């Protein structure tokens, strides 16, 4: 995810007098000596964050109901009935309404949280004597703390609902299909473990270079500026290549699962067209959930490196 770091010139980031007379870290309860810890940030904003997650949970449950409703509608239409279509329409409308409310609410919530966090981070680090260029870079990087709650946790929840929910619904149709899908989780876990270590190292290199950006721009040296942005590009390419390799390996296992489920679903006794459709929709949800793991792992790796930097005194 690109991080744009603005150039700041002639801006006084010194803490105001009111801050100097009262230690910044003690202004807010639950934050302690450092405001840049996930647990403390969550504790301070838990009601708003949990409300967002509650809406997201309902949205995901309704999303999981869609393949079942579609299969029901197909089977009913093939026999001249309309109940399944009514269920499908109701499911879709509810999913749409909950999704709209959730998106409007969480944008306002997490924008307010980031505004507060960035303000406190800048004042705190400038009061500790951290130079402007590093504070500028870290202010941008601190956005990833909020994005962990705004994007990474919902992504994790979506992956969890897609994987666990799809497995449960597939078991409703046939246990052998579940066995085929669970066999896919073993290589997925092994690949994720390796990918996590790989992206942590690459993220560290990218962030090292990003922290130099303001100083490089202020130097006004064309060669230094070009070298810096070339180096940033190289680190981003390495991260992209790592994700592509992980994706390619996962797709090989996914293809095997698709073929196995195809054979099994089409040979189920008394199987109906809507049932086959629902089985494959749940299989696709499961596979899309696994596809989301690399991006989630990359984000967590970046966040761990950002956290270590925001705790540095200089």
pLDDT tens digit sequence for 96-121? 999 999 999 998 999 888 888 888 87
First to last CA, the chain: 25
In a domain, 203, yes or no: yes
In a domain, 13, yes or no: no
Tell whether the model's pLDDT for residue 22 goes beyond 50.
no
In a domain, 197, yes or no: yes
Supply 47's token pair: 């009601």
Supply the pLDDT for residue 310: 61
In a domain, 224, yes or no: yes
Packed helices 293-310 and 153-160: angle between N→C axes, nearest 10 degrees: 150
Rounded Cα gap, residues 314 and 310, in angstroms = 9
pLDDT in tens, 135-187: 777 777 677 778 888 888 888 898 889 888 988 998 888 888 888 777 777 77
pTM confidence score? 0.64
pLDDT in tens, 174-194: 888 888 777 777 777 778 777
In a domain, 12, yes or no: no
**Domains of the chain: total:** 1
Supply the pLDDT for residue 24: 37
Query: Is the Cβ–Cβ distance between 188 and 246 less than 8 Å?
Result: no
Q: How far is CA 192 from the centre of its chain?
A: 15
Helix (H) or strand (E) holding 312: none
Residue linked to tokens 């504790």: 43
Handedness of CA 193, 196, 199, 205 (dihedral sign): negative
CB atoms within 10 A of CB 270: 5
Least confident stretch, 15-24, 192-201, 265-274, 292-301 = 15-24
Q: What is the CATH number of the domain that holds 137?
A: 1.20.1560.10
Mean pLDDT confidence for 245-249: 82
Three-state DSSP class for 73? helix
In a domain, 215, yes or no: yes
Of 27, 30, 49, 28, the closest CA to residue 39 belongs to 30
Residue linked to tokens 């990003």: 210
Tell whether the model's pLDDT for residue 314 goes beyond 50.
yes
Rounded Cα gap, residues 314 and 304, in angstroms = 18
In a domain, 89, yes or no: yes
Query: pLDDT-derived band of residue 309, with 50, 70 and 90 as boundaries?
Result: low
In a domain, 151, yes or no: yes
The chain-wide mean pLDDT, for the chain, equals 78
Domain hosting residue 147, numbered range? 25-310
């Amino acid at each position: 995810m690109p991080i744009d770091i603005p150039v700041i010139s002639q801006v006084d980031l010194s803490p105001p007098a009111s801050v100097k007379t009262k230690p910044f870290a003690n202004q807010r309860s639950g934050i302690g000596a450092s405001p840049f810890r996930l647990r403390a940030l969550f504790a301070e904003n838990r009601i708003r964050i949990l409300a967002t997650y509650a809406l997201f949970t309902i949205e995901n449950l309704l999303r999981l109901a869609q393949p079942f409703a579609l299969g029901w509608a197909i089977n009913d239409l093939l026999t001249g009935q309309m109940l399944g279509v009514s269920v499908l329409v109701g499911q879709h409308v509810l999913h749409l309404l909950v999704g709209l409310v959730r998106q409007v609410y969480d944008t306002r919530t997490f924008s307010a949280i980031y505004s507060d966090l960035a303000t406190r981070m800048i004042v705190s680090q400038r009061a500790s004597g951290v130079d402007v260029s590093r504070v500028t870079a870290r202010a941008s990087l601190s956005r990833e703390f909020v994005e962990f709650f705004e994007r990474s946790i919902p992504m994790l929840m979506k992956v969890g609902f897609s994987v666990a929910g799809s497995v449960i619904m597939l078991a409703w149709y046939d246990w052998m299909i579940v066995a085929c899908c669970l066999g896919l989780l073993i290589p997925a876990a092994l690949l994720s473990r390796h990918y996590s270590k790989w992206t942590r190292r690459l993220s560290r290199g990218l962030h090292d270079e990003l922290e130099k950006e303001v100083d490089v721009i202020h130097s006004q040296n064309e060669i230094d500026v070009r070298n810096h942005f070339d180096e940033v590009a190289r680190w981003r390419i390495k991260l992209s290549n790592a994700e592509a390799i992980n994706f390619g390996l996962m797709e090989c296992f996914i293809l095997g699962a698709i073929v196995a489920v195809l054979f099994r679903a089409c040979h189920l006794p008394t199987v109906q067209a809507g049932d086959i459709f629902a089985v494959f929709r749940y299989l696709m949800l499961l596979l899309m959930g696994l596809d989301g793991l690399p991006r989630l792992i990359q984000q967590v790796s970046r966040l761990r490196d950002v956290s270590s930097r925001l705790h540095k005194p200089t």
